[in-house]
Amino acid sequence: MSRIIMPIPCHFKTPAKLCDTTVARMRKALETAQRGDLLFLTGDVPYAQHLPTLGSLMREWFIQNGVPAESLHLIKGGVGMFSEARIACGAVPRAGAREVIVVSSGWYLFAGKPIWRRRAKENDIDISFVSIPRTGGLRTRLLYGCIGAVVRAGTAVGIEKPLELFFTSVQKNRTKGFTLNGCA
């Protein structure tokens, strides 16, 4: 049975180019992948309306780097870590897999691991994480540190669902354009 490898996108370097953090995550995904693994690609957000999404640019990059198109699956509808974790973990069993490996930066994983672990448990799948060092700038690390503290405290006191609704509603605007610089 295949595994699912999920490199989480960071942001755009230019309207049609992926940032260095995203590329580093994709390179690590290639190193992590074994024969028969599938790659799930999130990032269903464009830099601006009518431009390519992060996920579609990632798909092009993987194809240019020798990954067969049939091994790549774009996950549609996610706009942030809560919605992407929910949609992706729900799709893993439908793809015939029992394991997902999330590839991202340590600052993202500090905030995202509790969310991804809960969604994996709900879908009865195994999950592991691969952290990419030396990515993101100070602003990003501080922002995700704060988000991670809120997520961890919120899940500890049982308010994960309101947090998910809040973050997803705030992040829905990303479908119209996503210009946040995650490497800053």
pLDDT tens-digit profile of 144-177? 999 999 999 998 999 999 999 999 998 998 988 8
CA–chain centroid gap for 16, Å, is 18
Q: Which residue, among 38, 35, 34, 6, has the nearest Cα to 22 in the 3D structure?
A: 6
Question: What is the sign, positive or negative, of the torsion defined by CA atoms of 133, 155, 88, 82?
Answer: negative
- Residue 99's pLDDT is what? 97
Give how many domains the chain has, as a whole number: 1
The predicted-structure confidence for 123-143, as pLDDT tens digits, reads as follows 999 999 999 999 988 999 999
The predicted-structure confidence for 32-62, as pLDDT tens digits, reads as follows 999 999 999 999 999 999 999 999 999 999 9
Is residue 105 in a domain?
A: yes
Is residue 183 in a domain?
A: no
* Count of other CB atoms within 10 angstroms of residue 120: 20
The predicted-structure confidence for 110-122, as pLDDT tens digits, reads as follows 999 999 999 999 9
Query: Model-level pTM?
Result: 0.94
Is residue 181 in a domain?
A: no
DSSP string over 100-122: EEEEEEHHHHHHHHHHHHHHHHH
Query: Which residues constitute the domain of residue 145?
Result: 4-176
Name 160's Cβ contacts closer than 8 Å, sequence gap at least 6: 115, 118, 151, 154
Task: Give the span between the Cα atoms of 140 and 68, in whole angstroms.
Answer: 33
Is residue 86 in a domain?
A: yes
- Residue 101's pLDDT is what? 98
Is residue 25 in a domain?
A: yes
Q: Does the pLDDT value for residue 12 go beyond 70? A: yes
Q: What is the CATH number of the domain that holds 62?
A: 3.40.50.620
Is residue 168 in a domain?
A: yes
Q: Considering the chain, what percentage of its residues have pLDDT values greater than 70? A: 99
Q: Does the pLDDT value for residue 1 go beyond 70? A: no
DSSP, collapsed to helix, strand or coil, labels residue 158 as: coil
Q: Using an 8 Å Cβ cutoff, are 82 and 163 in contact?
A: yes
Q: Which residue, among 171, 25, 31, 22, has the nearest Cα to 102 in the 3D structure?
A: 25
Beta-strand (E) ranges in the chain?
A: 4-7, 12-14, 17-18, 38-41, 72-74, 99-105, 126-132
- Residue 182's pLDDT is what? 76
| Biggest CA pair distance of the chain | 45
Is residue 112 in a domain?
A: yes
